Structure 1
Amino acid sequence: MLLWINLKFSFRTDVSPKLLFASSGVKTHLYRFGAEHGNDNLKSFAYSEQGGPSLLDTILLSQWDNFAWRGHLDYDVTACQLKVIGGGRNFVGQLNNKWSSFSLKEYGKFFEAFRCLKPNSMKSFEGLLLCIAQGEKDRPEVAPSASPPKDGLIVIANAYPVEYGHIFLVPSAINQLSFYLDKKIFGLATKIAFEVNNAAFRVFFDSGTSVVSDRMFFQACYFASPLPVESAPTVTVYDGNTRSDIIVSETVDYPLKALVFTSNNLKALVNVVSEICFSLHDNNTAYSLLISNNGTKVFLFPQVKNLVTGCPLSAWECGGYFVYNTKIEFDNASETEILKRMAPVSLQGGSFEDLKHLCCAIANDLSM
């Protein structure tokens, strides 16, 4: 395949992703998007001429597989048992006795080191795969050894994956606010989903996570099948076809209230969703985001505090994908049990109606 031949020369996968230390800071591989040229609509030149995997998709998987091949994963997530949980909504359960949401604490010093620009305080650099930023040239380019840009995303492999290709997308900006969804960074994460151009690739964001308290970050991984929420029916609450390309929908017959934003206009999608997230943040409302459909669809899951656990659901749990640590829990997993987990955190009644009205108003105002 021509793409793989070209890749070997332009992007050396035999180079260790360990950071190179210098007086100017760390260095790693850098992928830059092609210039936008003021075009709001999603556009990419990153696909192979043969119609195969995109360049970014190939790089991400190559680097992640290399990380796994060198034995840095705590377990082989592809060997974990999966099952569709009966009941009609097709929730997915995974048996994984080594995964825990608190494994994110392992990355606390990793994230903090980038924020403080003190790489020697990091426990390990093996997980750093590459950096991604906006470029100025017509086509994407890859630099095999470059300093992390101030306005990009650092891609870190998750040694405790929930699914294949699990990565963190961490802003390289040193003054990033905690949990605050930065519009520019959110735009980069959305564009990554588009440039990867793989229907299995999903990007997640959780505003209320408590395990890494000082750092905003996205996560992403590959799911072989659509998540249950992606197959849930929806009803349109705002159709901007007459004024813009934004459509706002509400999920129907799904146990967790969710709003869905769809558009082929990257700028409009990012502007609307980020503005809504700013409002949720100002009102101390936890929420999760799921970016799917190659970056053209964003699911918003507003959540209330769980009085029992004190923690909101993760974005993949909101989407209907659950990890169980014991065989007994996995075997006994049921739709009834999952509904009981979702119900306490779902935004209900007048609060959700108010949010719908706010979303429609913002979508309408920003399309003017």
Structure 2
Amino acid sequence: MTAPRSIAVIGGGQSALAVGYFLARLRRDAAQGRRESAPEFELLESRPEGGGSWADMWPSLRLFSPADFSSLPGMRMPQSREDTASAPEVVDYLRAYAQRYELPVSHSEEVSQIRRGGDHGFEIDATSGTRRADVVVMATGTWGRPFVPSVPGIDDFGGRQLHTRGYAGPAEFEGLRVCVVGGGNSGAQIAADLEPSADVTWVTRRIPRFLPDEVGGRELFAAATQQVEGHSRGVADLGDIVALPPVRAARGRGLRARWDLDRLIPTGVRWTDGSETPVDVVIWCTGFRPDLAPALSLELDRAGGAPQVRSDLTTASASVPGLYFVGYGDWCGPASATLVGVGRMARATVADIDSRYR
């Protein structure tokens, strides 16, 4: 098969940038005479500016690990003023990363549909028009597809409801009664963020499991990799929540979770013992699903709800040649949804494209 003339990377966040880095290396090698040619490529980003979904996150959100274990390939994240980087610092890093490697990111390009373009290749409908590509790498992440569980009474609640992606900080909730639902890191961090100024009720499905205070991003990445590769019991046996300093502080002030929610009622929540707690706001910190809407017109074989990928390289679609998935979670590479983990699968993706289509 001949080398691809063009590669479209759908997305402009951390996963797309990591793929772009390795594609840019092919371009550099061609310019320096170490290979005959390199494919043209473009990153199609729906946002008007760089930073990916990190630009939409609340300012106090912090990474789990220091810069050494929170970096994309080729460029180390600068040391933070605190123990770990905040969301605005990650945004600055991602924008500097794209600029340093001169990655061809086209902003404000919302991709609405990807379809087969004849005998081979793809047609991509985007904001500025339709373009063709021989290979498509899906790197849209999950931020665009928030998940809210089917909780009894959810439609009866008379107050405000929002998801993690709509949370911009504690200022607008000062003095309010807020129910934060979710036992993961976002739930713990948002509950801790609100605790000094709001009346917080934190709800989880089970007793929250905090990782030991000394466990950070490096240990999590190693455990996740071993878990997916079948070499250990992995992260699930360490715990669910990283005890960052703000979370530890809120816990020290008495922040506790309840896991006996029965249903929502018009004025708040009802517990399994029949008692009720009045609530003004419910914040659903209940996770996300892969945002693959542009590729739904393709006939994707699925396994466990996710697109099925080849066993020899986990980012390549098993049913659509030339289609790849990077950064959505363990089903497309161990720890691939993290800054430190996506580089490995980005490298493997570009290597596979180069070997199969040259």
Please, what TM-score do these two structures have when normalized by structure 2? 0.24
Select the structure that is richer in helix.
1
Between the two structures, name the one with larger relative contact order (CA 8 Å, sep ≥ 6).
2
Which structure has the bigger radius of gyration? 2
